[in-house]
Copies of this chain bind each other. A is one copy, B any other.
Amino acid sequence: MIFADRMDEVKASAIRAVGKIIAQKKGVISFAAGLPDPTLFPFDEMHAVTDKLLKEDAMVALQYGPTQGHGPLLEKLCTLLKERDNVDAKSENLIITTGSQQGISFCSMIMLNPGDVVITENPSYLGAINAFRPYQCNFVGVDIDEDGMIMEDLEKALQENPNTKMIYVIPNFQNPTGKTWSKERCEKLIELANKYDVIVIEDDPYGQLRFRGESVPTLKSMDTQERVISLGSFSKVLCPGLRVAWMCGSKDMIEKVELLKQGADLQCNQLAQMQVLEFLNNYDFEKHIDKIRTAYGNKCQLMLDTMKAEFPPEAKYTEPEGGMFVWVELPGHIDTTELLNKAIESNVAFVPGESFYPLCDCKSSLRLNFTTVSEENIVEGIKILGSVLKEEIKSSQA
C-alpha cells in the first residue's frame, strides 16, 4: 500500500508513547498526563441537563444538525466572548469544532501549502506541531522568556522567512512551559503580524485557569485586521469527553472552514453541544471554574514547594500563574528521553521535552502535570524525581 507523501511527516505523540510504557508497569506516579482532574467535573449538573434534553428535546439532540454548530450555542458563545474576552463576534464568526485540536487542524488545512512556514513558540504544544506536520510545512521556533515570545527573534524570523503563513501561540499558561505572555508582548505580536501580513492562531484552552496574578487581554481583542483566529474550548473547564470547542475568526475564513468541515466530518456531536449550552444557561459557569482554579492552584503550589525542597539546584523550573503544567530545564547534556527510563524504574514518569520543540533540537527539558495527581502522590513523586535528577547530575559530573 502506497501512502501519500504527507504521511512521511506524521509522528506519534510522545505523550501517548509514555502512556503506553506506564500502562505496562504498575505503581508509577505519572506527571506525564495532560488531562483535567475528573473529580472536578460537574457530574450532577451534567446529569440533570442531559436528562432534561433527552426528555424534552431528543428529536433534535439525536438528529443531524448544522455543520457550523448548534445555533443557540453559537449565540451564547458570542455573549460569553464579549463578556469574558472583550471580543465582538457574531455567529458568522464562529464554528464549533471537535476540541481545539480540530481547530488547529482546520487552520493548517485552510492555510498551508507545502513549504509554507509556521512560526511557533519554542517549545510549543506537541499536538499542534503534529497537526501541522501532514501539511508539509516548515517550522521556525522562536524562543520564549518569562514574558512570552521574544519579539526581536520573532521579527528576525519573519524577515528571514517571507513565506511565513502563520504564527501559532498559546499566550496563557502555555503547554508545555506554563509561561504567560505580557500585555506588551501581545501588542507587539499583533503589530508584527500586521506589518508582515501573517495570520495569528491564538490557542487558549487554559486562559480561564488563572490561580495567581492579573489576567492579560486576549490577542483576539487586540485584533483590528481580522488577522487572529482564536481557539477556545470547554475541555479544560467543563468536560473534555464531550469534545466541544470553537474557532473564532473572520466571516470569510469561517465560511471556508465550514466547507472543510462538511467534508471532514459533517458536524460535531449534537447532544454534546446542547449539553454545554444547557449547562451554561442553568448553572454558574464562573463559580464552577473557580472551584477548578482553587484546586489547581493548591496542587501547583504543593508541587513547586516540594520541588524547591527536593530538586537539585541545577534543575530550573517555571512557576506558572495558571494552567496545568510546570516545565523543568536541566543542564544541556542531559537527555530526558533516556532519563525517562530511569525515572520509570523508580516509579515516576514525565514527558520528555524534545517533542515539544518543532525541530526536536533540545533534549534536556521535561514537562510535569499537576492536575491529575493526588496531593500525596505529588509529594511522593516529586521526591522520587528529585532523587533521580540528583543521581543523574551527579553521575554526569563524575
A264 to B131, Cβ gap below 8 A?
Answer: yes
Checking B55, B62, B110 against A7 with a beta-carbon cut-off of 8 angstroms, the contacting residue is B110
Min C-beta distance of A117 to chain B, whole Å: 13
Query: Does A398 sit at the interface, judged by CB under 8 A?
Result: no
Checking B3, B41, B98, B110 against A62 with a beta-carbon cut-off of 8 angstroms, the contacting residue is B41
Query: Does A250 sit at the interface, judged by CB under 8 A?
Result: yes
Q: Residue on B with the closest CB to A67?
A: B16
A109 to B134, Cβ gap below 8 A?
Answer: yes
Q: Which of A2, A134, A271 has the most CB of B within 10 A?
A: A271
Min C-beta distance of A55 to chain B, whole Å: 7
Checking B133, B256, B266 against A101 with a beta-carbon cut-off of 8 angstroms, the contacting residue is B266
Chain B residues within 8 Å of A6, by CB: 109
Known: A10-B263, A242-B62. A5 touches B46 (CB 8 A): no
In addition to A1-B199, A98-B268, 16 A-B residue pairs with Cβ atoms within 8 Å of each other are A3-B111, A4-B112, A7-B256, A12-B262, A38-B62, A39-B59, A41-B63, A63-B240, A64-B241, A97-B265, A102-B265, A104-B263, A127-B263, A131-B264, A132-B263, A264-B264
A-B contacts, 9 of them at CB < 8 A, read A4-B111, A6-B109, A10-B256, A12-B262, A13-B262, A43-B58, A63-B241, A127-B266, A134-B263
